[in-house]
């Protein structure tokens, strides 16, 4: 009977750690699914991102702006999904979740910034000489602002990478 009582705490410890690992695996799977969804939103075939580019190429600015709005809604849905994702006291999951959300928000800001560029291109088509030069200068200024958004995305991506590495190391996914 004495041997049996020694094994009970050990068994409970093993069971608790395996549950925790299972929760970490589920959490990681959810993040992987969201990453695939993000890829689809930004670069997927027949995505709003692809449609937006095609509309701009075709000088169809009205539909390009509508595509930006639809893409923004898809980003919002994905970000809201991540915000509701439970961390269940999984080690290093909260910083990873926060970094993921901030990265996705930065990408959303970058991709919805196209709204300003599209509106400026639409205006550029309607203007004459002097006004056109001024509008072209504004388009260049927008490109500089967009570069700042890219820099933010790169920074958030680095933070996400660090958080992901910590999560993996702490939860045994190395």
Task: From residue 31, give the alpha-carbon distance in Å to each of 74, 77, 84, 108, 123.
Answer: 16, 14, 12, 17, 40
pTM to 2 decimal places: 0.82
What pLDDT sits at residue 1? 47
Q: In three state form, how does the secondary structure of 21-36 look?
A: HHHHHHHHHHHHHHHH
Number of H helices, E strands in the chain: 6, 0
Token pair recorded at residue 119: 């509106």
What pLDDT sits at residue 14? 46
Range of the domain at 51: 2-170
Residue 126 and residue 120: Cα distance in Å, rounded? 10
Report residue 173: phi and psi, to 5°.
Answer: -100, 10
Token pair recorded at residue 93: 């999951």
Number of domains in the chain: 1
What pLDDT sits at residue 3? 54
Residue 167 and residue 111: Cα distance in Å, rounded? 28
Burial (CB < 10 A; 0-12, 13-18, 19+), residue 15, is exposed
Contacts of 93 (CB under 8 A, 6+ apart): 24, 27, 87, 167
Q: What's CA 72's distance to the chain center, in Å?
A: 11
The three-state secondary structure class of 171 is coil
Task: From residue 115, give the alpha-carbon distance in Å to each of 56, 110, 162.
Answer: 11, 10, 31
What pLDDT sits at residue 5? 53
What pLDDT sits at residue 16? 46
pLDDT in tens, the chain (174 residues): 455 555 455 444 444 444 447 888 899 999 999 999 999 998 899 999 999 999 999 999 999 999 999 999 999 999 999 999 999 888 999 999 999 999 999 999 999 999 999 998 888 888 777 787 788 888 889 999 999 999 999 999 999 999 999 999 988 887
């Amino acid at each position: 009977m004495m041997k049996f009582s020694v094994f009970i705490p050990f068994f409970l410890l093993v069971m608790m750690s395996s549950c925790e690992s299972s929760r970490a695996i589920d959490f990681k799977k959810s993040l992987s699914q969201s990453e695939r969804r993000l890829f689809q939103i930004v670069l997927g075939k027949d995505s709003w991102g692809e449609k937006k580019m095609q509309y701009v190429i075709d000088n169809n600015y009205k539909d390009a702006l509508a595509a930006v709005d639809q893409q923004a809604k898809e980003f919002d849905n994905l970000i809201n999904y991540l915000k509701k994702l439970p961390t269940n006291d999984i080690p290093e999951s909260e910083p990873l979740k926060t970094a993921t959300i901030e990265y996705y928000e930065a990408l959303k800001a970058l991709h919805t910034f196209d709204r300003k560029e599209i509106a400026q291109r639409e205006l550029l088509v309607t203007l004459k000489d002097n006004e056109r030069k001024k509008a072209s200068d504004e388009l260049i200024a927008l490109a500089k602002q967009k570069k700042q958004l890219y820099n933010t995305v790169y920074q958030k991506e680095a933070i996400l990478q660090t958080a992901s590495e910590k999560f993996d190391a702490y939860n045994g996914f190395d």
